[in-house]
A = this chain, B = another copy of it.
């Protein structure tokens, strides 16, 4: 085997690439450390130099996905003319745009994550996403509370709870996808729309905002995402 000498972070990233691809393709439970070693074309020794176990690799995959998610979200709230509510809406609008752009990839991800052999993968990604998103949203809520545009006396707890609700939206998105794949586009779109609207209402009420201030969804988004 011919192996090229590469800087450590390049090698480590390649291992994470391989692991991520294999986990999503074949399932986390069904992928062994040896599968990753072979796919990445590294020695056993080299692998264990970077990761002590498959669990550590899972951690790295989840952390990198969450980090990339954060990097995609951060520019959305950079506009200094936005108040806190504007920033929350910018996050929603940007996240809808990304969902439509990456729809087919995202659908595969959803289908993979909700398989029984991927419960650990799902769980770690969920944890990692929460860990990077809570400080971001808490900061927006803190600012909004200070400027008086929203009411969130305990921004950390409020941010965690609002993001926890996104988890239930993810479940519904998966159910809606299954329904769409079973041929019921109308039912699936109505289900997803209804949930996103209730999610928006929950945020407005929780932060004492006027009705209609949070655009958690927009007309035709659910249908466009399902059909994309």
Chain B residues near A44: list those with CB within 8 A.
none
Whole-angstrom distance from the CB of A144 to the nearest CB of chain B?
15
Q: Which of A116, A157, A198, A206 has the most CB of B within 10 A?
A: A157
A161 in the interface, Cβ–Cβ < 8 Å?
yes
Instruction: From known contacts A205-B206, A206-B206, A208-B205, infer whether A198 and B161 are also in contact, taking CB-CB under 8 Å.
Output: yes
A21 in the interface, Cβ–Cβ < 8 Å?
no
Q: Give the interface size bracket for A toward B.
A: 20 to 34
Stretch from A11-19, A32-40, A70-78, A163-171 contacting the other chain: A163-171
- On A, residues with C-beta under 8 Å from B are 55, 116, 119-120, 122-123, 154, 157-158, 160-161, 164-165, 167-168, 194-195, 198-199, 202, 205-206, 208
22 contacts across the A-B interface (CB closer than 8 A): A55-B116, A119-B120, A119-B123, A122-B123, A123-B123, A154-B194, A157-B195, A157-B198, A158-B198, A158-B202, A160-B168, A161-B165, A161-B198, A161-B199, A164-B164, A164-B165, A164-B167, A164-B168, A167-B167, A202-B206, A205-B208, A206-B206
